[in-house]
Structure 1
Amino acid sequence: MKIIKGGVTAPKGFLAGSTSCGIKKSGKTDLALLFSTTPCVTAGTFTTNRVKSGSVVLSIERLKKGSAQAVFVNSGNANCCVGKKEIKDAREITSLAARKLNLKNDSILIASTGIIGRPLPVNKIKNGIKGLIQNLSKSNGTSFAKAIMTTDTVHKEIAVEINIKGKVVKVAGAVKGAGMICPNMATMLAFFTTDAVIEKEALKQAFKESVYDSFNKITIDGDMSTNDSAIIFANSMAGNSVIKKNTRDYAIFLDAIKFVAKELSRKIVLDGEGATRFIEIIVKDAKTENMAGSIARHIANSNLVKTMIAGGDPNWGRIAASAGASGVKINSGRMDIYFGRVLVMKNGAGVNVSRMLLLDIFRKKEIKIVVDLKSGKYTDRIWTCDFTEEYVKINSEYEA
């Protein structure tokens, strides 16, 4: 596997465009379009929030057939909590874009991100669509990644190439997300492209596994968005033999898509709103994977833990307390805690260790915390970040 340039347009047959229609007061690009020159096998996962954007509802409906050819994205407005108008507006916008692209209406998906409770400025968006489509280009992968941003401070993209029986296959992705990032998706839009020839069910399974192992295992603030969408397009232009489930080719493809998803999820955490540190929480030797995951999530979402790390205070007691408050039945007398490789609690009791050594660990930009339950064989991990004053500032003044 080799990392390459180009973002979501690196695979054959994909074009992207971006423009500004005035949704964002800053004047930055706020419309984006990702388009394949040929129809695609498509799969997606979406927010589990009971309150969903009309854009999400429409895309879920259209993805039932497992194929699409484009996705339209607007940033700065969530198209959520404005009533029946949400889906009506989403249909109107995608209908116009479909006509301009000579596609059927149900071949184009839609994603929105931004402020909740404001109607989409449909006329502004419709006026921007012509220029957006004219801007479609193989060289606009990065422009696409920038146009979907809201509170992100950097754009997030990656592309790789692999070899499937002598054929070069490319897999790429772009995401936006910096806050309201919680396991089981996030305030996150993620778009993947590949030119692989792959069966519909194989793509669906590979994407599900990849999302579970990446975006579903990060958290910034424990809050879940109304707009989370992760979508993959496979247009078969690589010309490889068909990838089927439970084959060597499938394993190679799965490794690639998992790598792309993990790298993108890592970029989200590193760009967490106001974040200064990347934190990995590992819970090991639990009785079940669910138990390990529940404890890791509880620790990762603890404001006491996150502010402790922001302040550089190696207070391992907060880790122990959070693990115990997770609702998972554990034997505290067997629990060990490590900061990096340094043991700070053994069998439920503190260990005599140099505070200067621990302070040095907490000055690093990346911190690993391990909780060993010594009660089973299952392990899980969550990536998160610290909780700073800047996070409060960003979210108390949020304006697209």
Structure 2
Amino acid sequence: MNPFEIVKQPKITSPKGFRSIGIHAGLKKRKLDLGAIICDVPANAAAVYTLNAFQAAPVKVTKSSIQEAGKLQAMVVNSGQANAGTGEKGLEDALMTRQKMADLLDIPPHLVAVASTGVIGEYIPMNCMLNGLHQVVQLADHDPDDTFAEAILTTDTFPKKVEVQLRIDNQIVKIAGVAKGSGMIHPNMATMLGFITTDAAIESSELESLLTTVIPDTFNMISVDGDCSTNDMVVVMASGLAKHESLSPAHPDWANFQAAFSYVCQELAKLIAKDGEGATRLIEVQVTGAPSKETAKRIARAIVSSNLVKTAIFGADANWGRILCAAGYGAPEISAEKIDVWIGSILVAKQGVPIEFDEEKAAELLRNETVIIRTHLHQGEFQATAWGCDLSYDYVKINGSYRS
């Protein structure tokens, strides 16, 4: 039984102290394109970022903000332009955005973080951005229409939102998250953009430790197309307004809080994988019986990232050889003759060789909204799970005209 309750109508503003908004500032045609999360108090903060060598200007600015004091009071996010590959001007624009938001809220600049998503190599129309920030500060509230979650989207087909609540020291504590991501998903320490709020009382150092512990098995275990973005980041803000004893591994409710936090990250990651550009199915790959955790993770990610596996699933083709092939290059050191492979509940290969199975039943399982692929290596006790999506004709259509 979960030590937390899943909230059916999640909101990033549910934790105490937070408000948000999303508006159309003119950065994109017609759609919402500028949003912010604002906290009533300086919130303890932590983040992880893309390891892409070409980190976008907003990533650099947000890093600098959080490193100053481990706190944030505002998160500004725009869609339409990634502000990546924009050189000194891009960095100046990100810093100008941070300074303008700070001035409007009358707070120090280091309490403001910025994030951008969209086309690489395009400058942000700063007149639209600066004018938009005035509206954002005036309109930010509890955001009943979830406009913030809408404003951060690019090719996404739906907002990604998760919320849970639990009791700590007999106080109700909430954790809420939103994310965007549909293409250019193959993260390394983050995935596209993710924002998590909580009213838990927790120091920045403990928050950072928790985030870096949870990321490898959640956001870092998804893949859509094998591309690691220049703008990826996940940012967490904790207002501390739930009024309980400060959380740390020594706190009796720490394990419950960690489980709840991990659930939010995992569900956001799965929603991103499910909404892969042109995707028709969510793929979940479960690897068991591995000699190490790292081996299990490498195999799971190799299978879920394989274009041949993804296209076979799109075509409902039970071509288990592609799964075996991906497992083999994911961890070349494993013994291939020991591996069993399942498509859903159907065993399709045993000890690395074919067995008879019902092809029509397997094809039927491959048409499900969620496709489960299981491999048992019989070479240890470790396991891992990865998530991705199929690869359809629409992926090419979407990305062939992304700038149109």
Instruction: Identify whether the pair has TM-score above 0.5, normalized to the shorter chain.
Output: yes
The answer for the alignment partner of 1:354 in structure 2 is: 358
Cα distance, 1:331 vs structure 2? 1.1
Q: Does the CA contact (< 8 Å) of 1:15 and 1:140 recur in 2?
A: no
Correspondence 1:259-270 to 2 at 5 A: 259-270=263-274
Distance in 2 of aligned mates of 1:323 and 1:358 = 20
1:213 matches 2:217: yes
SS of the residue aligned with 1:9?
Answer: coil
Identity of aligned residues (%): 38
Cα distance, 1:247 vs structure 2? 2.9
Q: Which of 109-118 and 287-296 deviates more?
A: 287-296
Instruction: Give the 3 Å change call, closer, same or farther, for CA 366–59 of structure 1 in structure 2.
Output: same
The answer for the alignment partner of 1:132 in structure 2 is: 136
The answer for the alignment partner of 2:335 in structure 1 is: 331
The answer for the alignment partner of 1:47 in structure 2 is: 50
Give the counterpart letter for 2:130 in structure 1.
K
1:343 matches 2:325: no
Give RMSD over aligned pairs: 1.4
SS of the residue aligned with 2:196?
Answer: strand
Correspondence 1:87-106 to 2 at 5 A: 87-106=91-110
Cα distance, 1:185 vs structure 2? 4.8
Q: Does the CA contact (< 8 Å) of 2:295 and 2:331 recur in 1?
A: no
The answer for the alignment partner of 2:119 in structure 1 is: 115
Give CA deviations for 1:188-211 in whole Å, capped at 9, x if unaligned. 111110111112222112222222
Cα distance, 1:339 vs structure 2? 1.0
Give the counterpart letter for 1:7 in structure 2.
K
Cα distance, 1:245 vs structure 2? 2.0
Cα distance, 1:268 vs structure 2? 0.9
Q: Does the CA contact (< 8 Å) of 1:14 and 1:35 recur in 2?
A: yes
Distance in 2 of aligned mates of 1:184 and 1:123 = 33
The answer for the alignment partner of 1:21 in structure 2 is: 25
Cα distance, 1:171 vs structure 2? 0.6
Distance in 1 of aligned mates of 2:109 and 2:279 = 41
Correspondence 1:53-72 to 2 at 5 A: 53-64=56-67, 65-72=69-76
Give CA deviations for 1:212-233 in whole Å, capped at 9, x if unaligned. 2211111101110000010000
Q: Does the CA contact (< 8 Å) of 2:19 and 2:140 recur in 1?
A: yes
Q: Which of 386-395 and 121-130 deviates more?
A: 121-130
Correspondence 1:219-368 to 2 at 5 A: 219-368=223-372
Distance in 1 of aligned mates of 2:361 and 2:322 = 18
Instruction: Give the 3 Å change call, closer, same or farther, for CA 69–128 of structure 1 in structure 2.
Output: same
TM-score by length of 2: 0.96
Q: Does the CA contact (< 8 Å) of 2:48 and 2:190 recur in 1?
A: no
Distance in 2 of aligned mates of 1:322 and 1:140 = 45
The answer for the alignment partner of 2:383 in structure 1 is: 379
SS of the residue aligned with 1:123?
Answer: helix
SS of the residue aligned with 1:297?
Answer: helix
Distance in 2 of aligned mates of 1:376 and 1:91 = 50
The answer for the alignment partner of 1:31 in structure 2 is: 34
Gaps of 5+ in 1: none
Distance in 2 of aligned mates of 1:183 and 1:116 = 17
Q: Does the CA contact (< 8 Å) of 2:187 and 2:229 recur in 1?
A: no
Correspondence 1:139-218 to 2 at 5 A: 139-140=143-144, 142-185=146-189, 188-218=192-222
Give the counterpart letter for 1:156 in structure 2.
K
Give the counterpart letter for 1:33 in structure 2.
A
Q: Does the CA contact (< 8 Å) of 2:285 and 2:304 recur in 1?
A: yes
Q: Does the CA contact (< 8 Å) of 1:23 and 1:76 recur in 2?
A: yes
SS of the residue aligned with 1:8?
Answer: coil
Give the counterpart letter for 2:41 in structure 1.
T
Cα distance, 1:141 vs structure 2? 6.9
Gaps of 5+ in 2: none
Distance in 2 of aligned mates of 1:200 and 1:126 = 30
Distance in 2 of aligned mates of 1:199 and 1:133 = 27
Give CA deviations for 1:354-400 in whole Å, capped at 9, x if unaligned. 21221221121111111111111111111011000011110111138
Distance in 1 of aligned mates of 2:375 and 2:187 = 19
Q: Which of 288-297 and 184-193 deviates more?
A: 184-193
Distance in 2 of aligned mates of 1:6 and 1:331 = 45
TM-score by length of 1: 0.97
Distance in 1 of aligned mates of 2:190 and 2:155 = 13
Q: Which of 82-91 and 208-217 deviates more?
A: 208-217
Query: Number of aligned pairs?
Result: 399
Distance in 2 of aligned mates of 1:186 and 1:35 = 22
Give the counterpart letter for 1:275 in structure 2.
A
Give the counterpart letter for 2:146 in structure 1.
T
Q: Does the CA contact (< 8 Å) of 2:191 and 2:219 recur in 1?
A: no
Distance in 1 of aligned mates of 2:187 and 2:25 = 32
Distance in 2 of aligned mates of 1:246 and 1:354 = 52
